[in-house]
Amino acid sequence: MFDFIVFLIIIYVILYVIVFIFFDCDLETGFYEKFGKPIGHLRGKVVFITGASSGIGECTALALAKNGVKLILTARRREELERVKRKCIEVSQNQLTQNDVLVIPMDVTDLSLHRKNWDYAVRHFGKVDILFNNAGRSQRALFETIDIAVDRQMFDLNTFSVINLTRIAVNYFNSVGGGHVAVVSSLAGVIGVPFSSSYDATKHAVHGYFNALRAEKIGRNLAVSIICPGPTFTNFLSESFTNTIGQKYGKNVQSTDKRMTGERCGQLCAVILANKIRESWVALSPLIFFTYFTVYCPVLYNFILKTVGPEKLFKARDSQELTLQEEYPNKQMD
């Protein structure tokens, strides 16, 4: 029996080494991409996407459209939503018509619009099958310099808007016998990442809400998915909050950065939706290994963090040096 247990442990370790070397996602997600339900399993389903005008939201919409999935695209900018709609219809190769992609301009922080727009989508299609919460922004700032107004604004966008719309969706799914709610979180919602504490907190809060929802709905025909990407080639970095209300970080990603493409992230998001995966970690190596290591070996992680320093961790995350010089009046940056 002891030898058998040791054998299982060895196999387990080997599988995870394979993940770290070959996969750009966790083992479960990689398995379902290879052997699970194809994205085409969702053909004819209706997916409500927030933050669909760019980035991961746009790329996920395109991955779904290629497989005949009907879409509700929401974001603030109508012209960008219309652009994404045209692309979705084009890549669907005649699977989708104009009527199969509904554009709804919406600021998700205006909670008064949520029920109205959800009901409008249901009337248009006769149903909604999946809510894909994607809208949100990141942050780059030093903890002690952050104006509390920034924290409030970030929670309004990244947490409270998600929870309000999700509650509307869950009540609807309860009434029709089932459905699926998903949220794009971040690896920063799994571990504590330096220099974005407000953002980290909003994502940790989302995990708390969604994990509690999943626990309440076990066996009740409601799927709950949390998707945790690492660095991705989108406009996320330039649009990030800082420590000051109304200010953007303004730094662009570079073509040489080590990041997952938006297209690949969108493809994996579509796989996650098709297979109703509980929680997925999505990033290029070695960030998946780093996340596993941080979660399962916290003492060693803390030792390494003290040795390496938070600035090096920041550089690994953003593929560039920390540029918060004005927030370190007594520290010479490298």
- pLDDT tens-digit profile of 217-255? 988 899 999 999 998 988 888 899 999 999 999 888 777
Which among 32, 120, 172, 199 is annotated as catalytic?
199
pLDDT of residue 19: 62
Q: Do the beta carbons of residue 185 and residue 199 sit within 8 Å?
A: no
pLDDT at residue 17 tops 80: no
Residue 18 confidence (pLDDT) above 60 = yes
Q: What is the pLDDT of residue 180?
A: 98
Whether 88 shows a pLDDT value over 50: the answer reads yes
Tokens representing residue 157 in the block: 């966008």
Given this model, what pLDDT does residue 323 score? 67
In eight-state DSSP terms, residue 183 is E
Q: What is the mean pLDDT of residues 267-288?
A: 94
Residue 47: both structure tokens together: 């997916």
- Per-residue pLDDT of 170-201, as tens digits, reads 999 999 999 999 999 999 999 998 999 999 99
Q: Which domains does the chain have, with CATH numbers?
A: 2-298 (3.40.50.720)
Cis upstream peptide for 329 (omega within 30°) = no
What's residue 331's pLDDT?
Answer: 38
Residue 260 DSSP SS3: strand
Question: Catalytic annotation on 199?
Answer: yes
Q: Is the pLDDT of residue 334 over 50?
A: no
For the cut 50, the answer to whether the pLDDT of residue 143 exceeds it is yes
Q: How far apart are the first and last CA of the chain?
A: 54
The 10s digit of each residue's pLDDT in 292-307 is 888 888 888 888 888 8
Q: Is the pLDDT higher at 333 or at 139? A: 139
| 9: confidence class by pLDDT, cuts 50, 70, 90 | confident
CA pseudo-torsion sign 281, 287, 288, 293: negative
Read off the pTM.
0.90
Q: Supply the pLDDT for residue 13.
A: 66
CA–CA separation, 286 vs 228, rounded Å?
Answer: 15
